[in-house]
C-alpha cells in the first residue's frame, strides 16, 4: 500500500481550541479519522511536533521511502531554512499546505522557506487543504 504522511508543525496540536475563527473548531484527530477512512487505499500516517529538529528528523526518516508528504510546518514555514533544506534534500514529493490563507494575513506569513522546494502548495481551504493534497497523490 502506498504510504503518505501528514506532518504538522507547532501549535497545530491545538486545533479546535486555537483561534477557531481562523483555524476552525474540528480537532485534527477527528478530521484524520475521516480522511483515513475515505482514502483507505493509502496508508496515511500522522506526525505532529512543536520542535523544529523533530520535524526535520521526521522528513529525513520518511523522505526516501514514502510516496508522499503533506507538510504544514506552521510558523516554521516563515522562519526555517533548516526545514526548507530538508524538503530540498529528500526524494519524496512534499505538498505544502496551510489551513488559513497566509497571503491575506500579516506580511511575515507571506514568506515561505518551503514553497520553492515543494511539489505544490495548497493554501487557505481550511482542513480541506489537507484533503486536496491527498487527492493530488491519487
Ligand atoms: C498555518 C499558517 C501559519 O502562518 C501559522 O503560523 C500556523 C498555521 C496555517 O495552516 O494556516 O501555525 O500554517
Task: Please name which of 68, 75, 135 lies closest in space to residue 105, comparing C-alpha atoms.
Answer: 75
Pairwise CA distance, residues 136 & 132, whole Å: 6
Say how many Å lie between the CA of residue 70 and the centre of ligand 1: 14
* pLDDT score at 94: 98
CB 83 within 8 A of CB 23: no
| Per-position DSSP letters for 22-71, written without gaps between them | HH-SS-HHHHHHHHHHHTTTEEEEEEE-S-HHHHHHHHHHHTTT-SEEEE
Reply yes or no on whether 113 is catalytic: no
- pLDDT at res. 47: 98
Query: What pLDDT sits at residue 69?
Result: 99
For the CA of 9, the closest atom of ligand 1 is 12
* Per-residue confidence (pLDDT) for residue 82, from 0 to 100: 98
Question: For all residues of the chain together, what is the average pLDDT?
Answer: 96
Q: Is the CB of 49 under 6 A from ligand 1?
A: no
Predicted confidence at residue 17, as pLDDT, reads 86
Cβ(80) – ligand 1 distance below 6 Å: no
For residue range 18-66, list pLDDT tens digits in order: 888 888 888 899 999 999 999 999 999 999 999 999 999 999 999 999 9
- pTM equals 0.97
Task: Supply the pLDDT for residue 26.
Answer: 85
Per DSSP, what are the bridge partners of residue 96? Answer: 71, 121
> What are the chain's domains?
2-136 (3.40.50.9100)
- Here the cell at position 7 is 506532518
Cα distances (angstroms) measured from residue 80 to each of 41, 63, 91: 33, 18, 19
**Is residue 113's pLDDT more than 90?**
yes
- Is the confidence at residue 67, as pLDDT, over 90? yes
Mean pLDDT for 101-124 is 98
Ligand 1 mutation target, pool 102, 103, 122, 130, most atoms within 8 A of CB: 102
Closest among 48, 112, 115, 50 to 80, alpha carbons compared? 112
Q: What is the pLDDT of residue 40?
A: 97
- For ligand 1, whether the C-beta of 11 sits within 6 Å is yes
Q: Does the annotation mark 110 as catalytic?
A: no
The length of the chain in residues reads: 138
pLDDT at 128: 96
How far apart are alpha carbons 105 and 110 in whole angstroms? Answer: 8
Mean pLDDT to the nearest integer, 125-136: 97
Which atom, in ligand 1's list, is nearest to the CA of 11? Answer: 12
Amino acid at each position: 500500500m502506498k504510504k503518505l504522511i501528514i506532518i504538522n508543525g507547532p501549535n497545530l496540536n491545538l486545533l479546535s481550541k486555537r483561534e477557531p475563527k481562523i483555524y476552525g473548531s474540528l480537532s485534527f484527530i477527528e478530521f484524520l479519522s475521516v480522511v483515513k477512512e475515505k482514502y483507505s487505499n493509502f496508508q496515511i500516517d500522522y506526525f505532529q511536533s512543536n520542535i523544529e529538529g523533530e520535524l526535520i528528523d521526521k522528513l529525513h526518516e520518511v523522505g526516501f521511502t514514502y510516496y508522499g508528504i503533506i507538510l504544514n510546518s506552521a510558523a516554521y514555514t516563515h522562519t526555517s531554512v533548516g526545514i526548507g533544506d530538508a524538503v530540498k534534500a529528500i526524494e519524496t514529493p512534499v505538498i505544502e499546505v496551510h489551513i488559513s490563507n497566509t497571503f491575506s494575513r500579516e506580511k511575515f506569513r507571506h514568506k515561505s522557506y518551503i514553497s520553492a522546494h515543494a511539489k505544490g502548495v495548497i493554501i487557505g481551504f481550511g482542513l480541506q487543504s489537507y484533503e486536496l493534497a491527498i487527492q493530488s497523490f491519487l
